[in-house]
Amino acid sequence: MNTTTRADAQTGAQADRFKATFGAAPHGVWAAPGRVNLIGEHTDYNEGFVLPFAIDKRARTAVRLRSDSTIRLLSTFGDQGLAEADAAALTPGPVKGWVKYPLGVVWALQQHGVEVPGFDLLLDSDVPLGAGLSSSHAIECAVITALNELTGAGLSVEEMVRLTQHAENAFVGAPTGIMDQSASLRGARGHAVFLDCRDQAVELVPFEAQEAGLVLLVIDTKVSHSHADGGYASRRASCELGAQVLGVKALRDVAVADLDEASGLLDELTFRRVRHIVTENDRVRQAVDTLRAQGPAHIGSLLDASHASMRDDFEISCPELDLAVDTARAHGAIGARMTGGGFGGSAIALTPVAQEQQVRDAVVHAFAEAGLTRPDIFTVTPAAGAERIS
């Protein structure tokens, strides 16, 4: 089956399952992808630059509006069963499991003044959960795209980005930035999304690894992470402290040339956190210039430098991510780094097609030797952002 036929079959099966569960056909099916970040980590909440892309794995939500305020939610995975909530009585805090993502979106829309009636929703997703590929934002972006259309709210993409961030920050309780939902909402086939997180200006940058004889491998270490835990928040707090001491609105306003002076003003730990952000913003811009001028085969050293900075200065890597990165590099990848928030999740390895199998085998072998869970390894390509698919 080719990809389109498979996607059609999945959408058809989802619509059938929806009808069997809720007794009527959905009003439509909306899909939104997960993402990998090529480079630019933890720069988003510092009003800096990121370069993610939407991947060819996505969440699909079949939705039918109701005439009362009841929300009924079911997913094709997990064991949560049918969940029910009242659209008129949502509050942040007590909600558990995947349903906090759609309910958080409803709550954020209401905070913005959008009236959201009850609805039935069936979720299906092939974005791996907990792998650092933004499975939660894929759900949120599919839901907000569906509700924006069905309620006639007329939100811009910038507003949808901010509202899903508000859902994550205030309803889910994860103090994350705007990178993931921007990639999911604004992704385009064959392109990475170069985003200025200060004003949401976007440029699409061609990223056609295959044309350069390369693949982008994702190595899911199976080490689970949560951005609602302390590590992410403490990095964010260090960045805010650094900006305050340096007298800037955000670390985006600090240049590499300012680092010498900054080292005299900051404590050692805060300085290293700041140095990661400042040099990472610079690497994102270099990666964009290099991709445009020379193509993907030339960004390897920037990926490596980004990983070293996250490992040593920002300290968000972990032994499994380092093992994945080091092994991939030693067996033929031209650049590799952890991707996403860190403390687990996935690494990416830009690899010549001729070395792909060798890298896969070496990483699986290294994890087995170290007594670790077998990682999942797969390729991703830049795909379209959120859209209605039926």
Least Å distance between CB 279 and ligand GLA? 14
Least Å distance between CB 178 and ligand GLA? 6
Q: Is 177 an interacting residue with respect to ligand GLA (CB under 6 A)?
A: yes
Q: Is 41 an interacting residue with respect to ligand GLA (CB under 6 A)?
A: yes
The amino acid that residue 126 corresponds to is D
**Interatomic CA distance for residues 139 and 124, integer angstroms:** 9
Q: Is 44 an interacting residue with respect to ligand GLA (CB under 6 A)?
A: yes
Count Cβ atoms within 10 A of the Cβ of residue 166 and give its class: 0-12 exposed, 13-18 middle, 19 or more buried: middle
Q: Is 139 an interacting residue with respect to ligand GLA (CB under 6 A)?
A: no
Cα atoms in the Cβ-side hemisphere of radius 13 Å centred on 329: 18
Strand pairing category for 119-125 and 70-75? parallel
CB 262 within 8 A of CB 274: yes
- Of 280 and 356, which has the nearer Cβ to ligand GLA? 280
- Of 26 and 132, which has the nearer Cβ to ligand GLA? 132
CB 11 within 8 A of CB 60: yes
Of these, 180, 220, 304, 356, which contacts ligand GLA (CB under 6 A)?
180
Of these, 87, 103, 179, 291, which contacts ligand GLA (CB under 6 A)?
179
Options 44, 120, 124, 180, the catalytic residue: 180
User: Phi first, then psi: what are they for 19, rounded to 5°?
Assistant: -65, -40
180 is catalytic: yes
**Interatomic CA distance for residues 334 and 27, integer angstroms:** 46
- Of 42 and 311, which has the nearer Cβ to ligand GLA? 42
Q: Is 164 helix (H, G, I), strand (E, B) or coil?
A: helix
Least Å distance between CB 60 and ligand GLA? 21
> Which residue stretches of the chain are H helix?
3-22, 100-111, 135-151, 157-166, 179-186, 230-246, 259-265, 268-293, 300-309, 319-330, 356-369
Number of residues that bind ligand GLA (CB under 6 A): 12
Q: Is 186 an interacting residue with respect to ligand GLA (CB under 6 A)?
A: no
CB 60 within 8 A of CB 10: yes
- Of 140 and 304, which has the nearer Cβ to ligand GLA? 140
Contacts with ligand GLA, 276-315, as mask; x by CB under 6 A: ----------------------------------------
- Of 180 and 304, which has the nearer Cβ to ligand GLA? 180
Of these, 341, 344, 382, 385, which contacts ligand GLA (CB under 6 A)?
341
Q: Is 33 an interacting residue with respect to ligand GLA (CB under 6 A)?
A: no
Contacts with ligand GLA, 193-232, as mask; x by CB under 6 A: ----------------------------------x-----
Q: Is 340 an interacting residue with respect to ligand GLA (CB under 6 A)?
A: yes
Least Å distance between CB 141 and ligand GLA? 12
Of these, 34, 36, 39, 42, which contacts ligand GLA (CB under 6 A)?
42
* Sign of the CA dihedral running 112, 114, 120, 122: negative
Among 106, 16, 124, residue whose Cα is nearest residue 66: 106
- Of 232 and 271, which has the nearer Cβ to ligand GLA? 232
Of these, 145, 148, 176, 290, which contacts ligand GLA (CB under 6 A)?
176
Least Å distance between CB 87 and ligand GLA? 26
CB 333 within 8 A of CB 218: no
Helix axis angle, 100-111 relative to 157-166, nearest 10°?
120
**DSSP-assigned beta bridge partners for residue 58:** 33
- Of 63 and 160, which has the nearer Cβ to ligand GLA? 160
Determine the straight-line distance between the first and last CA of the chain, rounded to whole angstroms. Answer: 19
Which residues of the shown chain bind ligand GLA in the complex (CB under 6 A)?
Answer: 37, 41-42, 44-45, 176-177, 179-180, 227, 340-341
Active site residues: 180
